[in-house]
């Protein structure tokens, strides 16, 4: 079962990384945020690893702010996700 899911898992991880790179390039292009800071602010993954790397790289506080906002958004969306999925399912089956 895992071997059948592996391509989908790798595609999801690759799309998240590519999405973070594209978002970082856009943020760096349209603002005064350095590219490394923009990437660290948008990168998916462990918040502790990202914040530790940002601290060692001397990044600006924007990295911490965006990572904390991302974590809070995941908590809020996660709390309402069963309701959203139920609504979506009822909408398509009705």
Q: What is the pLDDT of residues 24-49, one digit of tens each?
A: 999 999 999 999 999 999 988 788 89
Q: What is the pLDDT of residue 94?
A: 64
Q: Which positions ≥6 away from 28 have C-beta within 8 Å?
A: 34, 35, 38
pLDDT digits (tens, 9 = 90+) for 48-60: 899 999 999 999 8
**pTM for this structure?**
0.73
Query: Contact at 8 Å (CB) between 62 and 41?
Result: yes
């Amino acid at each position: 079962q895992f071997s059948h899911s592996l391509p989908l898992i790798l595609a999801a991880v690759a799309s998240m990384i590519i999405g973070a790179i594209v978002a970082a390039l856009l943020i760096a292009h349209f603002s005064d945020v350095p590219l490394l800071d923009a990437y660290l602010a948008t990168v998916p993954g462990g918040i502790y690893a990202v914040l530790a790397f940002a601290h060692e790289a001397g990044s600006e506080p924007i990295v911490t702010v965006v990572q904390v906002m991302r974590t809070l958004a995941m908590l809020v969306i996660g709390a309402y996700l069963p309701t959203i999925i139920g609504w979506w399912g009822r909408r398509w089956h009705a």
